[in-house]
A and B are shown apart, each in its own frame.
Chain A
Amino acid sequence: MILSDIYIHAENLCFSYREGNGKEENPALRDFSVEICEGEYVAVLGHNGSGKSTFAKLLNLILTPTSGHLTVGGVEVTREDLSDEEILNLRKNVGMVFQNPDNQLVATVVEQDVAFGPENLGLERAELRRRVDDALERVGMTQYAKHEPHRLSGGQKQRVAIAGVIAMMPKCIIFDESTAMLDPSGRREVLDTIRMLNRDYGMTVLNITHYMNEAAEADRVLVINDGRLLMDGTPDEIFARREELQAVGLEVPQCTELVHRLRGLGIALKGDGISTPDACADLILHAYEKLSK
């Protein structure tokens, strides 16, 4: 890994929520260190309250780390003398899509909502128009430009929210459980959009989720537990550690579960492909063909 490729570099990040009386509460994130490269598709797993959302909110300084160093795009954002302009620049570069689509749309018309971010950047009107049209086009919502957001389906609202973020042309987008409130088809819409942004536009993507099947689509998986980074690897590497995952309240995809149990019965299945049905099918087929010979 070449150093210049690293986009996000976190070193010993800590964060604690404070109670009303100012006394420190349970630390939500402890000594968290990770490097994320440009163009990576990273899934972040962890049960509710594991600290994964806190981690995301630190990356664009919605929360300020209690201690530690964070460098985003070569700029150290944990510096004491960070200017307001630098903060705005950070938020422009690291966009965020939240869980509840209703609570992140600001305007009563779709295109005006998408324009909200770029408007805050103070762009020219022609440039605003271009970006809004382009962003709506990318998420496939052009035909809804004049609609009222509250009449859209959950998946559509979430795509509008994504358009609002990509209209700022960020380098990285964080999805904070953005599929949790959607039905299967809405989830599919959002996941396809995420993948498209990563593959076709080279955006760095962090998908915070507790759906294992979603994590299987990423290039890399981080598992967070109790505010610490517990595992870091490819989906296959992570899902191979089934017992450890179960110990922290997570499960593995059904396919992975199946391979584990078959291996437990003494059936030889060689290979690492255990995260997706396609890879898993290859594995089983391979074993079957070997038997029939």
Chain B
Amino acid sequence: MDKLYLDHVSYVYSAGTPFEQKALDDVTLAIRGGCITGIIGHTGSGKSTMMQLLNGLAKPSSGKVLLDGYDINCDVNDVLEEWKKLPEYSGMSPRSAKKAIAAKIKKTRAKLCFRVGLVMQYPEYQLFEETVSRDIAFGPRNMGLAEEEIRQRVLEAAAFTDIGEDLLEKSPFDLSGGQKRRVALAGVIAMRPEVLVLDEPAAGLDPLGRTFIFEGIRNYQRKTGSTVLIVSHSMEDMARYCDDVIVMSGARVIRQGSREEVFAHVDELAETGLDIPQITHLMQLLRARGLPLPENIYTVDEAVEALRALLGLGAK
């Protein structure tokens, strides 16, 4: 089963006003569990709205969002008939069964934000505590965990994001931009979400800062086998870190599949206003000028391989 499934989801902003706008238009997509999926698209393509739908911060105007096959916005009446047959409700009267089911749905909903962790754009603005460790502990504390467990999770999250112990007792406001970003990321990772969703996690950072953030995310994904979704404009980063890619444009999904499948249509991506990796652009130039190179090259490693085969033969 797909970890996340969007079933004909639409989302309309400010419905019924002159500012009405469709952020998502009949989107159906599947996200595989246990891998990193990239969502690319220019600003206003509906990416950020989609993130908020995934953990219940926003509800779709129509359609369903399924997490492990469970409709996260389900209403007691939708599931009543089906759930009544479950053993846990079998002995109950219809009224108390309905009540129990409603309670269960409410509880599941409340826990949703801990299962699907959301890292927003420029997340450093969410820092507020006196020390880094207390800020990271905010999420776990809201989960109602025991102090010892909280402490352990803070250390674990700090390790994933490469936050040294010397930083843990500092004020988050004294850190550099890149460090703040990592603390904010750790604050979400500390909840150990099954699904980690990130909106432009490296925006505005310098190259070293970018690498730190992406390595932290990859570390977490590898060690915990969780599902990661990265929303980004940067196809260079997507090519480097993602297994699957979804391309959005004008509130719709225009392509989804493995990295190789999606990037094979690189021209189409360029048309939607995204910047293609520089290396891919170079390969296009070379092909246009008659060099026999394979079509889908989007990392430096792949380009080195291809050109070595081409140029290296003669060099010997």
Do chains A and B interact in one complex?
A: yes
Give me the interface of A with B, judged by CB distance under 8 Å: 47-49, 99, 153-154, 177, 180-181, 183-186, 188, 210, 212-213, 249-251, 253-255, 257-258, 261-262, 265-268, 277-278, 280-281, 284-285, 287-288, 291-292
Return the 7 tightest CB-CB contacts between A and B, nearest first: A291-B314, A249-B208, A184-B275, A210-B206, A281-B285, A277-B282, A254-B279
**Do A250 and B206 contact each other (CB < 8 Å), given the known contacts A154-B43, A257-B300, A261-B300?**
yes
Chain B contact surface mostly:
helix
Residues in B with CB closer than 8 Å to A261 are 300, 304
Min CB gap B245→A, angstroms? 16
- Option from A47, A49, A181 in Cβ contact (under 8 Å) with B203: A181
Query: Could you tell me if A153 and B308 are in contact, using CB atoms closer than 8 angstroms?
Result: no
Query: Could you tell me if B204 and A185 are in contact, using CB atoms closer than 8 angstroms?
Result: no
- The yes or no answer to B79 lying at the interface (CB within 8 A) is no
Residues in A with CB closer than 8 Å to B308 are 262, 265, 267
The interface size bin for chain B is: 35 or more
Bound CA span A288–B291, Å: 8
Bound CA span A32–B1, Å: 60
**Total of A-B residue pairs, C-beta within 8 Å:** 106
Considering the complex, give the chain A residue whose CB is closest to the CB of B178: A48
Min CB gap B236→A, angstroms? 7
- The yes or no answer to B107 lying at the interface (CB within 8 A) is no
Residues in A with CB closer than 8 Å to B291 are 284-285, 288
Min CB gap B157→A, angstroms? 22
Bound CA span A177–B285, Å: 30
A selection of 14 A-B contacts at a CB cut-off of 8 Å is A48-B176, A48-B177, A212-B207, A250-B207, A254-B282, A254-B303, A255-B278, A255-B282, A258-B303, A262-B307, A265-B312, A267-B311, A278-B285, A281-B282
Query: Could you tell me if B300 and A258 are in contact, using CB atoms closer than 8 angstroms?
Result: yes
Query: Could you tell me if A277 and B281 are in contact, using CB atoms closer than 8 angstroms?
Result: yes
Query: Could you tell me if B207 and A253 are in contact, using CB atoms closer than 8 angstroms?
Result: no
- Option from A181, A184, A284 in Cβ contact (under 8 Å) with B204: A181
Bound CA span A15–B310, Å: 52
CB interface residues, B 255-307, toward A, < 8 Å: 273-275, 277-279, 281-282, 285-286, 289, 291, 300, 303-304, 307
- The yes or no answer to B146 lying at the interface (CB within 8 A) is no
Min CB gap A17→B, angstroms? 13
Residues in A with CB closer than 8 Å to B303 are 254, 258
Give me the interface of B with A, judged by CB distance under 8 Å: 42-44, 176-178, 203-209, 233-234, 236, 273-275, 277-279, 281-282, 285-286, 289, 291, 300, 303-304, 307-308, 310-315
Min CB gap B14→A, angstroms? 13
Bound CA span A153–B178, Å: 25
Residues in A with CB closer than 8 Å to B176 are 48-49
**Do A277 and B206 contact each other (CB < 8 Å), given the known contacts A255-B279, A291-B311?**
no
Residues in B with CB closer than 8 Å to A49 are 176
Chain A contact surface mostly:
helix
Bound CA span A47–B212, Å: 13
Q: Of B44, B291, B304, which is in contact with the most chain A CB atoms at under 10 Å from its CB?
A: B304
Bound CA span A212–B277, Å: 13
Query: Could you tell me if B278 and A288 are in contact, using CB atoms closer than 8 angstroms?
Result: no
Q: Of A49, A183, A210, A281, which is in contact with the most chain B CB atoms at under 10 Å from its CB?
A: A183
Considering the complex, give the chain B residue whose CB is closest to the CB of A249: B208
Query: Could you tell me if A153 and B43 are in contact, using CB atoms closer than 8 angstroms?
Result: yes
Query: Could you tell me if A254 and B277 are in contact, using CB atoms closer than 8 angstroms?
Result: yes
Query: Could you tell me if A254 and B300 are in contact, using CB atoms closer than 8 angstroms?
Result: yes
Min CB gap B2→A, angstroms? 28
- Option from A183, A266, A287 in Cβ contact (under 8 Å) with B233: A183
Query: Could you tell me if A267 and B42 are in contact, using CB atoms closer than 8 angstroms?
Result: no
Min CB gap A158→B, angstroms? 13
Min CB gap A81→B, angstroms? 38
Residues in B with CB closer than 8 Å to A251 are 207
**Do A266 and B315 contact each other (CB < 8 Å), given the known contacts A254-B236, A258-B282, A281-B286?**
yes
- Option from B177, B208, B312 in Cβ contact (under 8 Å) with A267: B312
Bound CA span A218–B281, Å: 20
Min CB gap A30→B, angstroms? 19
Bound CA span A132–B311, Å: 55
Min CB gap A232→B, angstroms? 20
Other contacts beyond A185-B43, A254-B277, A257-B300: 10, CB < 8 A: A153-B43, A177-B204, A181-B204, A185-B273, A249-B207, A254-B278, A258-B279, A266-B315, A267-B307, A291-B313
**Do A253 and B274 contact each other (CB < 8 Å), given the known contacts A47-B207, A267-B308, A288-B310?**
no
- Option from B208, B234, B307 in Cβ contact (under 8 Å) with A258: B307
Residues in A with CB closer than 8 Å to B310 are 288
Residues in A with CB closer than 8 Å to B275 are 184, 188
Min CB gap A164→B, angstroms? 22
